[in-house]
Amino acid sequence: MEEFKTLEIVRASPGSAVFHLRLNRPSSSNALSLGSFAELPLALASLDRRPDALAVVLSGAGDHFCSGIDLAALGSVVSSPSSLSAGADRGRAGERLRREIKSMQGAVTAIERCRKPVIAAVHGACVGGRRRHRHGVRREEVDLAITADLGTLQRLPGIVGYGNAMELALTGRRVSGSEAKELGLVSRVFGSKRELDDGVRVIAEAIASKSPMAVTGTKAVLLKSRDMSVDQGLDYVATWNSAMLLSNDLAEAVSAHMQKRKPVFAKL
């Protein structure tokens, strides 16, 4: 298993197809450092390559899921000597900053690019933009005089609706677990950390028991269809299945159903 400074990968149990990817900076409530942004895509790519990993649970060590970007990391990105020195080329400084932002965006998008489903097990604080200890979900970039640039403004409207996304992004207000469920930010809410862990384990194991071809295909098609019309999405999945449908998994699933047994699928 690969080792990282800001993350850790743990197999749920020996022989399990479920792997846990934990943000592992509990002393800072898992604030995202530059190292976190560098390591997250590497860890997800590692899990993507593992044939025996079929579901990933993303969680945070300690009392909070994530308290947002580490302010030290934010400061190092926006206040490099080259951008502040007298006579610095503003165009070149801007181009460097753009590359830094694109790299950090890539770390977040790596969750989508990983072929395996990634389930976020959120407990305690889940904050965007700044370090702060609190319970609930919050987008706080606006309080730091930042236009959110890591994907919130692009993804949130499709999840909670344009009006709700506008309000949350402009106010940066706290959203409780129950409101997050109502808005569609989370799919389930649990009464305790233990209930969360048990509930997520059941979901992850259920996914990992399915055909790897069907699971990775479903994730890929859902993500692709998000930015397509219905007709375009239907055409895309028809093309996808014309290449992927006739796998050994299909024969095994049909055979298991006929024999009234659990199917056994090959690794991905």
pLDDT digits (tens, 9 = 90+) for 158-215: 999 999 999 999 998 999 999 999 999 999 999 999 999 999 999 999 999 999 999 9
Q: Are 96 and 80 in contact (CB under 8 A)?
A: yes
What is each CA distance from 237 to 22, 217, 220, 225, in whole angstroms?
Answer: 33, 9, 9, 9
| Among 21, 22, 200, 40, residue whose Cα is nearest residue 104 | 40
High-pLDDT (> 70) share of the chain, %? 92
Q: How far is CA 125 from the centre of its chain?
A: 16
Q: Are 32 and 69 in contact (CB under 8 A)?
A: yes
Q: Are 158 and 228 in contact (CB under 8 A)?
A: no
The C-alpha atoms of residue 44 and residue 7 are separated, in whole angstroms, by 11
For residue 36, what are its two tokens? 């976190």
Confidence of residue 129 (pLDDT cuts 50, 70, 90): low
Residue 55, H or E segment? strand 55-60
Model pLDDT, residue 76:
74
Asked whether residue 267 carries a pLDDT value surpassing 60, the answer given is yes
What is each CA distance from 215 to 51, 117, 118, 218, in whole angstroms?
Answer: 13, 8, 11, 5
74 Cβ neighbours under 8 A, 6+ residues apart: 144
Question: Look-up: residue for tokens 């899990």?
Answer: 47
The C-alpha atoms of residue 250 and residue 211 are separated, in whole angstroms, by 8
Confidence of residue 72 (pLDDT cuts 50, 70, 90): confident
Q: 132 φ, ψ to 5°?
A: -160, 140
Tens-digit pLDDT profile for residues 130-151: 544 445 666 678 887 889 999 9
Q: Which residue has the higher pLDDT, 217 or 1?
A: 217
At residue 176's C-alpha, the angle toward residues 114 and 179, to 5°, is 85
Residue 57, H or E segment? strand 55-60
Model pLDDT, residue 133:
42
Asked whether residue 246 carries a pLDDT value surpassing 70, the answer given is yes
Confidence of residue 128 (pLDDT cuts 50, 70, 90): confident
Say which DSSP state 213 is in: H
Three-class SS state of 139:
strand
Q: Are 53 and 1 in contact (CB under 8 A)?
A: no
Strand pairing report for 174-175 and 136-139: antiparallel
